[in-house]
Structure 1
Amino acid sequence: MRNYINLNGEWNFELLEELPENVALIQPSKKIKVPSCVESFFPEVTKKQFYIYYSRNFSINRQKGKRYFLIFGAVDYYTTVFLNGQIIGEHEGGYSSFEFEITDFIKEDNHVQIVVFDPVDNSKINFGEIPHGKQNGEPNWYTNITGIWQGVRIEERPLAFLKNVIIKASYLKKKIECSYDVSGEIDNVNLTIKKDEKRVLKKEFAKDEKILAFLENAVAWSPENPQLYDLYLEAKNGSQTDVIHKKIGFRDFQVDNEKLLLNGDDFYMIGVLDQDFYPDTLYTIPSKEYLRSSFLKLKKMGINTLRCHVKVPDPVYMELADEIGFIVWLDAPYFDNFSEYSTKRLEKTILKTLERDISHPSLCIYSIINESWGINLDIQAHRKWLE
């Protein structure tokens, strides 16, 4: 497994009306918890425009023959990252995970600085062209969301490693398929599947061979019986090994005669519209235990479907849905104004979400647009984009 350093916790923090040319001159006077929504602690950012500044120190025992990546779960909205005084990357978007390789920048003791700009009006960017949920826009249903609202970590990887891993596990065909990309060169890939810590399948594949295997005694995943397996992909490069671990479930969603089937059988969705907002922490999940408790209460009520409304949820949300047994219907965030810029931003958000979540057995439906928010179906160009 990959080693990592968790950077969650207390960070230095400042609200800046203007950004100096040299961020090294910034002397933060405040503290903030990461991850969190800035509005939870400094509600003034909802109405007044600020640059949001974070910084902290960290130490690392750097290993030879390893690569290092700084990974963000989600930051809203424009993010610029500095490490040891050098800019290492920028990112636009409020929902997608992103990472920067920092192998050439890190030392034993390090200083990371982050500047976030989240527009509250149209003075610097057309806000209506930014994908958002009910936290922004017209109407503004709740409160704005700003800053590092999902976790931050540094991950250690071998020189060659797997990425963009997608799993398809079919119960009806008793089949599992894996696709992936590679950074660097690998020799081969081993596939291992375990159930309750017992190995039920192991197979080796050449580096360019399609990963396809069958498990004849596979047990189906369903909300009533959310059976999960542990999947391991092990990529070898000489003496180095990269291991990816994922929880998987064997299931099939199909449409037949205008009916949605699960594992070949008709079923009823008994669902709730989940805003995925929290009283104190807003967009950020208070804790995994908090969310688990909420999900278990819904299960006792007989709910089997969660429609996560116009938001990309924290990865923990999907993991618990797999484990506890919920069908998940995701809504894409939306824009207020239809344009080339807004549609491209939304398409990127949708693709990144599907890349992250498509392997979850709980994921069933993905809505591109909620009702007709942001589009006008009387306009041909809008209809054509939807097609």
Structure 2
Amino acid sequence: MRKLSGLLLILALASCKQEKELYIDLSGAWTVNLDREDQGVTEQWFNTLFTETVALPGSLVENGMGDDISLSSHWTGQIVDSSWYLAEKYARYREEGNIKIPFWLQPELKYLGAAWFQKEVMIPENWSNKNIVLHLERPHWETRLWIDDQEIGMQNSLSTPHTYNLNAYLKPGKHIISIRVDNRIKEINPGINSHSVADHTQSNWNGLVGEISLQARPLAFIETVALFPDVENGVVKAEVKVRNYTGTTRPCTLKLQSMAVGTGEKQEKVVHEFSMKDGEDVETIEISYPMGESPALWDEFNPNLYQMDLELKSGVGVDAKQVQFGMREFKTEGLRFTINGRPLFLRGTLECSIFPKTGYPATDKEYWLKILKSAKSHGLNHLRFHSWCPPEAAFEAADELGVYLQVECSSWANSGASIGDGKALDRWLYDEADYILEAYGNHPSFCMMAYGNEPAGVNQVQYLNEFVTHFKEKDPRRVYTGGAGWPFIESADYLNDPNARIQHWGEGLRSIINTSAPQTTFDFRHIIERVSMP
């Protein structure tokens, strides 16, 4: 028995050592250069070694870089009251050295534009013939990447990690990674008031936060996993996307095994044998995985979680993934939401990307546990992420605590932005929704989804009807609506109606809460009965 235990310990330690050898943590010191005049690309800054140092993950402002706040500082967000700029009583707060902006939390410094971040890396010999990926968990906003003097590409998701496949560019030896980060609104305009970009709450920061790493995997690997729980039949449909860069068709074995997170109880392994074709095209493997008799369901009272362990053997190494999920069914029935067939009453609040200490979203689970525990202590079970999408850690915390989340595609297309008129934002929102569903779709807490908030655009109804219909068919694990606030669309599962509230926009002292004695008997049935959905 002791010999067996010792062998198992040796195997576990060997596995941990192998994982560390296939992972390079890029956090720490990077060099930086601010590209104020947009000269870096034409002047080939990727061939220039910078000298000024910053610490990543972090923002430029955190590292003491940027411009002093002045009357000419460029802010992202709508200012409704211009009296601060004009009224004599605010004159002293407009003086140099005593600038005090009343519209949002004022940062110490401000930078809007492109910044280049650079780091030298050494790729080990055992990474030869590996699929190498650069993982940037939460950049803000657009990234362009160079490896040495070769440009790799550009990504501009506001909601999900930017990942770059580098196996064709990173060979064993020394290399320079150059990342150009640009936080300006350009062709893609999600709306200047979107909480994903506005200075109103988090700030329109520039930098890279969360995990920054290089990861090496076999050339035949698991790309994505989507798990679709079927509560009624006690099974999970697994859609596993695999890719093969080996140059030949390979016989493969894919193993799946589910484990209850709380107890460690495991279900039987399912083994699938197949041949994986070589090439750029991804292959999708569909497997029905039985969860045993009476699987534990997930809801706010019993947030039971499972982990699906996947292992792909292809003859060029073993690739593995672990995916957390829950057995739950979130639907609508008449005027009610249901969870696992039971009527549900949502009691929620907004989360508008409010991070006053850093100016950017937290990417650690402990922070989000603190936020969500505070919400639950006030009797709430629901958060709406207003015109933004949080990082992975928020979903993990909500899964653990049993909180129902509404996620939005990082847009408040108003005040100069609009949807449904053929601009670049229309296509970008589809892409952003795809990225969000791929990155966070397995989380049971991810129950509701909207394009974003209060859109403008004469064709918004048609656009959002098509948008909602498309994603309801693609991923039925949650319910969908068009825009929070408006418009009403026939294809939606539910309506985010702003009228059932006690303080309307601009009402001031005329609102119910200010003209009536305190009470808990407000009646909104005349609003609710107008539509046939929650």
TM-score where L is the length of structure 2: 0.65
Query: Does residue 177 in structure 1 map to residue 237 in structure 2?
Result: yes
Residue aligning to 2:289:
213
Distance in 2 separating the partners of 1:305 and 1:103: 42
Query: Does the 8 Å contact 1:76/1:95 carry over to 2?
Result: no
| Contact 1:132–1:333, Cα closer than 8 Å, also in 2 | no
In terms of mean alpha carbon deviation, does 30-39 or 187-196 score higher?
30-39
**Distance in 1, Cα, partners of 2:190 & 2:347:** 34
Of 301, 304, 320, 1:224 maps to 301
Distance 2:221 2:363 in 1: 32
Aligned pair in 2 of structure 1 residues 36, 147: CA closer, same or farther (>3 Å)?
Answer: same
Match of 1:385 among 463, 487, 493: 463
Task: Name the counterpart of 1:311.
Answer: 388
3-state SS in 2 of match to 1:110: strand
**Which of 238, 245, 267 pairs up with 1:200?**
267
Secondary structure class of the residue paired with 2:396: helix
Find the aligned partners of 1:160 and 1:16 in 2 and give their Cα distance.
39
1:26 CA displacement: 4.3
SS of 1:321 mapped into structure 2: helix
Q: Cα gap change, 1:199/1:129 in structure 2, threshold over 3 Å: closer, same or farther?
A: closer
What letter is aligned with 1:44?
A: D
Residues 77-88 of structure 1: pairs in structure 2 closer than 5 A: 77-88=141-152
Q: Give 2:181's aligned residue.
A: 116
Q: Which of these residues, 256, 269, 291, is aligned with residue 191 of structure 1?
A: 256
Conserved? CA contact 2:298–2:444, under 8 Å = yes
How far is 1:226 from its partner? 1.0
Q: Which of 170-179 and 157-166 deviates more? A: 170-179
8 Å contact from structure 1 (residues 35, 284) kept in 2: no
Distance in 1, matches of 2:289 and 2:201, equals 47
Distance, in Å, in 1 between the alignment partners of 2:351 and 2:251 is: 42
**Alpha-carbon spacing, 1:38–1:311, altered in 2? closer, same or farther (3 Å):** farther
Q: 1:61 to 1:24 in 2, by over 3 A?
A: same
* Structure 1 residue 161, shift from structure 2 partner: 0.6
Query: CA–CA distance in 2 between the matches of 1:212 and 1:30?
Result: 54
- Aligned: 1:241 with 2:318: yes
Matched, 1:268 2:290: no
Which residue in 1 is equivalent to 2:59? 37
Secondary structure, in 3 states, of the residue corresponding to 2:58? coil
1:161-194 Cα distance to aligned partner (Å, 9 max, x none): 1112101123332111110221114513111011
**AA paired with 1:152?**
I
Contact 2:202 2:359 in 1 (8 A): no
Alignment map for 1:46-195 (pairs within 5 Å): 47=74, 49-63=112-126, 64-106=128-170, 107-119=172-184, 125-126=186-187, 128=189, 133-134=194-195, 136=197, 143-184=203-244, 185=250, 187-195=252-260
Cα gap change, 1:43 to 1:158, in 2 (>3 Å)? same
Residue 14 of structure 1 is aligned with which of 21, 24, 33?
33
Instruction: Name the CA distance, whole Å, in 2 between partners of 1:228 and 1:197.
Output: 11
Gaps of 5+ in 2: 1-14, 75-110, 245-249, 275-283, 466-534
State which drifts further: 265-274 or 288-297: 288-297
Contact 1:221 1:251 in 2 (8 A): yes
Equivalence for 1:350: 433
Question: Could you tell me which residue of structure 2 aligns to residue 326 of structure 1?
Answer: 403
Q: 1:230 to 1:180 in 2, by over 3 A?
A: same
Amino acid at match of 1:105: Y
- What is the distance in 2 between the residues matched to 1:296 and 1:225? 15
Deviates more, 1:244-253 or 1:17-26: 17-26
Root-mean-square deviation (CA), in Å? 2.6
Task: Give 5+ residue unaligned stretches, structure 1.
Answer: none
1:278, 1:286 within 8 Å by CA — same for their partners in 2?
Answer: no
- CA distance in 1: counterparts of 2:333 and 2:140, whole angstroms: 40
Partner of 2:445: 362
Per-residue deviation, residues 236-280 of structure 1 (Å, max 9, x unmatched): 212622111011111111212222110111121121111232112
Identity percentage of aligned residues: 20
Separation in structure 1 between the aligned mates of residue 133 and residue 313 of structure 2, nearest angstrom: 20
CA contact (8 A) 2:227 2:236 kept: yes
**Structure 1 residues 109 and 126, CA, compared in 2 at 3 Å: closer, same or farther?**
closer
Structure 2: distance between partners of 1:136 and 1:4: 31
Whether the aligned pair in 2 keeps the contact of 1:273 and 1:309 (CA below 8 Å) is: yes
One-letter amino acid of the counterpart of residue 23, structure 1: W
Q: Render the CA deviation track for 1:195-253: whole Å, top value 9, x for unaligned.
A: 23332231112337630022223101111111111211111212622111011111111
SS at match of 1:151: strand
Report which of the two has the higher share of strand: 1
Would you say the 8 A contact 2:218–2:316 is kept in 1?
A: no
Q: Which of 341-350 and 10-19 deviates more?
A: 10-19
CA contact (8 A) 1:171 1:251 kept: yes
8 Å contact kept, 2:112–2:206 = no
Q: Structure 1 residues 38 and 95, CA, compared in 2 at 3 Å: closer, same or farther? A: farther
Q: 2:434 and 2:58 mapped to 1: Cα distance?
A: 25
Q: C-alpha distance in 2, partners of 1:206/1:66?
A: 23
CA distance in 1 between counterparts of 2:325 and 2:385 reads: 21
Q: Residues of 2 paired with 1:188 and 1:131: CA distance?
A: 49
2-side partners of 1:364 and 1:81: how far apart?
A: 34
Shift of 1:29: 4.4
Which protein, 1 or 2, shows the higher relative CO under an 8 Å CA cutoff with sep ≥ 6?
Answer: 1
